Structure 1
Amino acid sequence: MADDTEDVELDFEEERVRRSAVIRHPVASFLHLFFRVSAIIVYLLCDWISRNFASCFILIITLLSFDFWSVKNVTGRLLVGLRWWNQIDEDGRSLWVFEAKKNSQGCSSGTEAEARIFWLGLIVCPLIWMFFFFTTLFSLKIKWLVLVVASISLQAANLYGYLRCKAGGQEGKPPPDTRSFMGHHFLQRISSLEYCED
């Protein structure tokens, strides 16, 4: 009798490990890393790509802007079930709103492997840009320092937003117009449940 229980526990553990290694959103996982890694590679190879600082600056800022938008609006929701945004209230104050998905059973949240990819990319890339900050500062490349500071700002904003989401911080409340969006999103999720079932 004890052997049957051990087999069931082992099968359950193997199934959990198998599901945690699956990547449900391969495009989102790829895009989460593609723009930020591409910006780092372009920065490192910029002298070989072009001698024109302006074209390198524009290319890197464009890649990081795509990264900022895709992480904030797409990959955070799909891979870890978190989202954040900033809004201005009637008094002109800036409010940050942080949301964390409360139910881990929904099909739109990612797997453990996707969460690792998300957090690894979100934390490691700003550290690389911080390294670039000190190398450009000590080499006195002031024009490149502006680019690196802009890069750190974009990546640090996403990191700050998602760390606050993960911690459950709620500075502002969702505005009324986002409640209708959440209702619409809820209806979309219900209608897509048949595609999520294994």
Structure 2
Amino acid sequence: MADATEDVELDFAADEQERARRSAVIRHPMASFFHLFFRVVAIVVYLLCEWISKNFASCFVLIIALLSFDFWSVKNVTGRLLVGLRWWNHIDEDGKSLWVFEAKKVRQCCVNSGTETEERIFWLGLIICPIIWTFFFFTSLFSLKPEWSGSEPVTTIAGP
């Protein structure tokens, strides 16, 4: 035990080196890329939908497919690799369907867990994209574009 008058040296260098290593390295670049890829492409398709196709249904199906790929990748791949999330459905002895959710401990340093940079990529992508979609919802709601309402304008043909 150290005496009250004795100087004690604290070694924070190892903690700082570990923190710098975790924040600087991206261990799962493909997972980080695809976490943002499907979300950003869905937003870009929404913005450029009139140039891609004049048919509202085809654009709608394409956006829903991209967001479905995004949901699958977040649930099964990027959530686990980047931030340590895991969930699945379990049926107990009584036949009840239970959803089991697991998350890594905050300070747990696992081999497969992502770095701080990857955690920021994951959570910012998960938060910012729905905010953008909410903005798009309100702008389209208040702009009332007739071409996106699903009805074609009525045209009359003048007779001779």
Give the TM-score, by structure 2 length. 0.75
Post-superposition offset of 1:121? 0.3
Give SS of 2:139's match: helix
Q: Does 1:135 align with 2:159?
A: no
Aligned mates of 2:147, 2:87 — CA distance in 1: 32
Is the contact between residue 29 and residue 118 of structure 1 (CA under 8 Å) also seen in structure 2? yes
Q: Deviations over 1:20-74 (max 9, x none)?
A: 2210000000000000010001101111121111221111111111000000111
Post-superposition offset of 1:86? 5.0
Question: What runs of 5+ residues in structure 1 fail to find an aligned partner?
Answer: 147-198
1:105 alignment counterpart: 109
Structure in which a larger fraction of residues adopt helix:
1
The structure 2 residue matched to 1:58, chosen from 57, 61, 65, is 61
CA RMSD of aligned residues (A): 3.0
Give the TM-score, by structure 1 length. 0.62
Is the contact between residue 43 and residue 56 of structure 1 (CA under 8 Å) also seen in structure 2? yes
Classify 1:49/1:112 alpha carbon distance in 2 versus 1 (closer, same or farther; 3 Å).
Answer: same
Aligned mates of 2:148, 2:92 — CA distance in 1: 36
Question: What runs of 5+ residues in structure 2 fail to find an aligned partner?
Answer: 1-6, 151-160
Give SS of 1:98's match: strand
Aligned mates of 1:47, 1:65 — CA distance in 2: 22
Is the contact between residue 32 and residue 70 of structure 1 (CA under 8 Å) also seen in structure 2? yes
Is the contact between residue 133 and residue 145 of structure 1 (CA under 8 Å) also seen in structure 2? no
Q: Deviations over 1:53-101 (max 9, x none)?
A: 1221111111111000000111000000012345677888664331112
2:36 alignment counterpart: 33
Q: Does 1:126 align with 2:122?
A: no
Aligned residue pair count: 143
Is the contact between residue 137 and residue 145 of structure 1 (CA under 8 Å) also seen in structure 2? no
Aligned mates of 2:38, 2:73 — CA distance in 1: 9
**Larger C-alpha radius of gyration, 1 or 2?**
2
Give SS of 2:12's match: helix
Give SS of 1:96's match: strand
